[in-house]
Structure 1
C-alpha cells in the first residue's frame, strides 16, 4: 500500500478546493462582465429606439405629414447605420424597411418582436443562420400607425464578445497566476513542515535503537520549533536516564558483589577451619548476618521501586505514632554510629500528634534518611534529629555534618538511579523511594545543603491528624 504524504494530501484536498473556488469565481466574473456589456448595449439600443419613437410620435400627430414617408426618410438618414441596423416592421410582422437597405429572410426568428407585442418592449440575443451573434430590441408603434406595428434595432455582438473574451482571458490568467502562487507557497509551507517531521522521524528511529547522541537542527520559533526543542530535551533526559541506569546497574552489581564476596569468604573460612576459635566463629557469623541484612535491604528497595513503577505499591494506613517509629529508627543506628565514631543527637519531644499513614513505610523512610546521614558522614561528625509540630504538620529534621551535596546535584538527588557521591555505597534509588512514600502520605521531603563539606539537612513534613 503506497504511503500517503502530507504534500500529496495537501495538493489533492486544499489545492482542489482552491482551484474549484477560483474556477467558480472566474465563471462568475465572466458572467458578470458579459451581463454588464450586454445590458449596456441593450440600454443604448433602448435609448436610441426611444428617440426614434419620440420623433415618429410627433409625425403621427401631425396631420400634414406622411407617416410612411417620414419613416422611410428616418431609416435612410439613420446616422449609426454602420453599427446598428434600424428596421420597420409592418402590421403583418414582416420587416419592410431597413437602414441598410437589405431585408432579413422572412423565416428568420424575431423573438424580441414577439415579446414586444406582449409587453411595451422586447429584447433578445440569438444567433443568425450564418453564426453571427446579434442583439435585437423592438418597440411597438401600432398606436401611431396602422401600417407599421413596431420599430426594431439590431446590432452585432461580435466586437462586444471579443472584448468579453479579452476580459475573460485576463481573469483566467489572473486565476492561473494565483493558483501557481498558491502551489509555490503551499509546497514551501508543506515542505517546512514535512522536512522537520522527516528529520524527527529519522532521529526517533535512532532513539528507538538506543542512540541518543543525535539532535534535531532547529531554526524556527513556531510549533514545529517547539516540537523539535521538546524532542531534543527528551533526548537529553533519555540520555541522562540511560547513563544513570547504566551507572545504577554498575553500582548495584558492585553493591551486590561486595556483601556476597564477604559472605562467601567467611563461609569458606568457617567451613574449612570448622569454626576455629569462638571469636572467629562469632565474627564470621556476625559479618554474614550483617551483609545478608544489607543484601535484604537492597533487594527490598529494588522491589519497592519496581512496585512503584508498576503501580502496585500500596499503603496500610492507620493513625500512627511518629515518635515510636522515629525512635526505633534512631535505636537501630545508634550502635552503628558509635562503632564508626559518629554521634547521633536526638531531641525527642514528649508528644506529637498522630499521623494517618503506614507505620512500616514511614519507619522505612526514617531508616533510609538516617542511614544516608551516617553513610555520608565521616568519623567525628554528628547527626542531629529533631521532631516537632508546626502549622498542623509533624516535621522531622535530620541534619548531618558530613560531605554535603553540590548545588548542581541538589535538584537530582531524589531522581531514580542518581548518585551524587560515587565514593559511598548505595543503589541510588533509596531517596527516590522515600520521596515517593512521603508524597503518597500527602507530605514533602526537602533536601538542602550549603555545598560540599558543609553537611546535609533532610526535612520531612507529614500532615497531622486533626484532634
Structure 2
C-alpha cells in the first residue's frame, strides 16, 4: 500500500523538525557571526580611541615625522592588530609589521576618516589576500590640524574559523536531532497506526459477515470513539439480522398456516359427498376466509417491500376524514365484538375535509385498530377518537391491553421488529403505518406501559384546499 499513514506521519514530523531546526540554525549563525565581527570591531575601535587619547595627551605637539621615527610605539603597544600610519592621500607611511604597500588605501574606513567619521570595513588584504577588518581615525595635533591617519587592521581568520566550527557543530546537532526525531516519529506513528490497522482488520472481518468480532478500544480519543462506533454498529447489525431472521421465520409461519388450512379443507371437500352440504359450505367459507387472510398478508409484504425501497406513492384527493373514520370504525366493530371487547368512538358529525390518500389512511387506521383489538384481552376496551385542532387532524386509538415494555417501545416502529408476545405476527404493520404518516407530513406517537395499555396518536396536517376541490 502506497502512502501509508505511518510513513506520512514520519515524513511530516521530520519535515517540521528539520524546518524548525534550520530556521533556528540560521538565526544562531547570524547571531554568532554578528557577535564575532562586532567583538573585533569594538576591540579595534577601543584600541583606536586609546591610542589617539594617548597621542593627544602626551604627543600632540609632535609632527607626524617625529612620531614615525621616534614615538610610533605608542600606537603599536598592547594590540595584536596591524597598525598603519597614513598620509592625507592614503599612502602607508608606517606599518607595524614592516610591510609597506605602495598602493594608496582607498577603503571605506579611510574615506569615512577623511570626512571626520569612524567606520569599520571588511574585505581582503591587497598583499596577502586574507580577510581583514579595518578602522581609521584622524591624527590631530595640539593646534587642531589633521596631520595624518591612524589605521588598525585585524585578521578575520580566527573569527571565520570559529564561525565554520559553529556551522559544523550545528549541522552535526541537526543530524542527531533528525535521527532522534525519525526514531521517535516511527514510535509515535506506530502507536497511532496500530489501532487503525486493528480497526481495519476488524472491519474486513465484519465485511465477511463475522459481526461478532469486536474492536479494541485503546484510548478515549477519536480512534477510541471510532472503535466504539464500529462495535455499536456490529451489535446493531447483529440485532437487525436477528430481527430479520425472526421476521422471515414469522412470515413463513404466517403464510404456512392459511395454506395448510386451505390444502386441508381442499382434501376434505374432494372426498365430501353430495349430501354433506353443511360440510361443503363450512369448508368453502374457511377457504375463502383463509384466502382473504393470505391475500392481506401478501399485500402487506408488497407494501413493506415498497416502503423499504422508497417506492410507496400517494394518490391524494380531497375527502371527508370524519366519514372515513366512521366507516373504518363500522368495519372493525364486529371484530371487537367477536373478541368480547368494548369498542367506543368519539368522531365528530361535521365534515372535516383533508387532502390525502384515503385508501392509505384507511390502511393506517385498520392496522392500528387491529393491533389494539388483538392485544386487548376479553372484556377489555378500545377507544377510537378523532378531532381537529388548529390546522391538524388528530386520531387517537387507546386500549387497556397488555402494553409494551420500554425496550419494545423503543423499537416497535422499526422494520422487521416483532414483539415478544405470541400474538405478534410479521411485525411490519406499525412500520408501514409510520411510513404512511410521514408521507402525509404528519407523525405517529406511541405511549405504552406494560399491563396498563397503549395509546397511539396520529397527527396529520389539513393541507390547504382550493375552493374548486371543496365543491367537487
Fold equivalence (TM over 0.5): yes
Is 2:193 aligned against 1:194? Answer: yes
1:347, 1:405 → 2: CA distance? 25
**Paired residues of 2:76 and 2:83 also in contact (CA < 8 A):** no
Instruction: Give the Cα–Cα distance (whole angstroms) in 1 for the partners of residues 36 and 351 of structure 2.
Output: 99
Corresponding residue for residue 144 of structure 1: 146
Aligned equivalents of 1:88, 1:141: Cα separation in 2: 9
Determine the structure 1 residue equivalent to 2:64. 67
User: 1:365 Cα shift?
Assistant: 0.5
Normalising by structure 2, report the TM-score: 0.84
Distance 1:127-1:264 versus aligned 2 partners, 3 A rule = farther
Q: CA deviation at 1:384?
A: 2.1
| Range moving further from structure 2, 383-392 or 113-122 | 113-122
Q: 1:255 to 1:68 in 2, by over 3 A?
A: same
Per-residue deviation at 1:95? 4.4
Equivalent in the alignment of 2:81: 84
Q: 1:3, 1:272 → 2: CA distance?
A: 76
**What is the root-mean-square deviation in Å for CA atoms of aligned residues?**
3.3
Shift in Å at residue 245 of structure 1? 1.0
- The match for 1:247 is 246
With over 3 angstroms needed to count, the CA separation of the structure-2 counterparts of 1:396 and 1:122, relative to structure 1, is closer
Distance 1:276 1:305, change over 3 A: farther
SS of corresponding position for 1:411: helix
Instruction: Give the CA deviation at 1:244.
Output: 0.9
Contact map agreement 1:375 1:424 (CA 8 A) in 2? yes
Aligned to 1:114: 107
Mark the CA change 1:73 to 1:211 in structure 2 (over 3 Å): closer, same or farther. Answer: farther
Question: How many angstroms does 1:290 deviate by?
Answer: 1.9
Q: What's the offset of the Cα at 1:30?
A: 0.3
Say whether the 8 Å CA contact 2:195–2:218 is kept in structure 1. Answer: no
- Displacement of 1:212 after TM fit? 1.6
Shift of the 330–49 alpha-carbon distance from structure 1 to 2, 3 Å rule, reads same
Alignment-derived partner of residue 322 in structure 1: 321
C-alpha change, 1:341 and 1:279, in structure 2 (3 Å) is: farther
Gaps of 5+ in 1: none
More off after superposition, 204-213 vs 341-350 = 341-350
Q: Is the 8 A contact 1:329 1:367 kept in 2?
A: yes
8 Å Cα contact 1:219-1:225 kept in structure 2: yes
Instruction: Specify whether residues 348 and 202 from structure 1 end up closer, same or farther in structure 2 by C-alpha distance, changes over 3 A only.
Output: same
Matched, 1:35 2:53: no
Q: Is the 8 A contact 2:122 2:131 kept in 1?
A: no
SS of match in other structure, 1:432:
helix
Which residue in the other structure is 2:461 paired with? 463
1:348-387 pair list within 5 angstroms? 348-351=347-350, 353-387=352-386
- 1:437 corresponds in structure 2 to 436
Partner of 2:155: 156
Deviation track 1:213-262 (CA, whole Å, cap 9, x = no partner) reads: 12222243333333222222222222211111111111111111112211
Question: 1:401: which partner in 2?
Answer: 400
Question: 1:310, 1:73 → 2: CA distance?
Answer: 115
| Cα deviations by residue, 1:191-216 (Å, 9 ceiling, x for unpaired) | 44322221221111122122221222
- Distance change (3 Å), C-alpha of 1:158 and 1:336: same
TM superposition shift of 1:359 = 0.6
User: Which range moves more in the overlay, 45-54 or 430-439?
Assistant: 45-54
Q: Which residue does 2:124 correspond to in 1? A: 126
Quote the Cα distance in structure 1 between the aligned partners of 2:385 and 2:215. Answer: 50
Distance between the aligned counterparts of 1:425 and 1:281, measured in 2?
Answer: 32
Distance 2:71 2:174 in 1: 48
How big is each residue's C-alpha offset from its partner over 1:25-46, in whole Å with a ceiling of 9 and x where there is no partner?
Answer: 3123202320232023123213
Partner Cα separation in structure 1 for residue 67 and residue 274 of structure 2: 154
What are the superposed Cα offsets for residues 113-147 of structure 1, whole Å, 9 maximum, x if unpaired? 433444334522437887864433344669734xx
Query: Which deviates more from structure 2 when the two are superposed, residues 159-168 or residues 254-263?
Result: 159-168
CA contact (8 A) 1:384 1:400 kept: yes
Superposed, which structure 2 residues align to 1:124-273 within 5 Å? 124-126=122-124, 133-139=131-137, 144-145=146-147, 150-165=149-164, 167-168=166-167, 171-172=170-171, 175=174, 179=178, 183=182, 186-273=185-272
CA contact (8 A) 1:96 1:103 kept: no
SS in 2 for 1:397: strand
Q: What residue number does 2:276 align with?
A: 277
In the alignment, the residues of structure 2 paired with residue 116 and residue 340 of structure 1 have an alpha-carbon distance, to the nearest angstrom, of 120
Identify if the C-alpha distance between structure 1 residues 10 and 341 changes in structure 2 by more than 3 Å, giving closer, same or farther: same
CA distance in 2 between counterparts of 1:118 and 1:386 reads 111
1:356 match: secondary structure: strand
What is the TM-score with the length of structure 1 in the denominator? 0.85
Distance 1:91 1:279 in 2: 150
Aligned residues: 456
- 1:414 is displaced (CA, Å) by 0.8
Q: How far apart in 2 are the matches of 1:289 and 1:372?
A: 23
Report the Cα distance in structure 1 between the residues aligned to 2:45 and 2:166, rounded to whole angstroms: 25
What CA distance in whole angstroms lies between the structure 2 residues aligned with 1:128 and 1:289? 124
Cα 1:381–1:91, aligned 2, differ >3 Å: closer, same or farther? closer
| 2-structure distance, mates of 1:235, 1:276 | 63
Task: Return the alpha-carbon distance in structure 1 between the equivalents of residues 439 and 365 of structure 2.
Answer: 15
Larger deviation, residues 205-214 vs 371-380: 371-380
Closer/same/farther in 2, CA of residues 336 and 116 from structure 1, 3 Å limit: closer
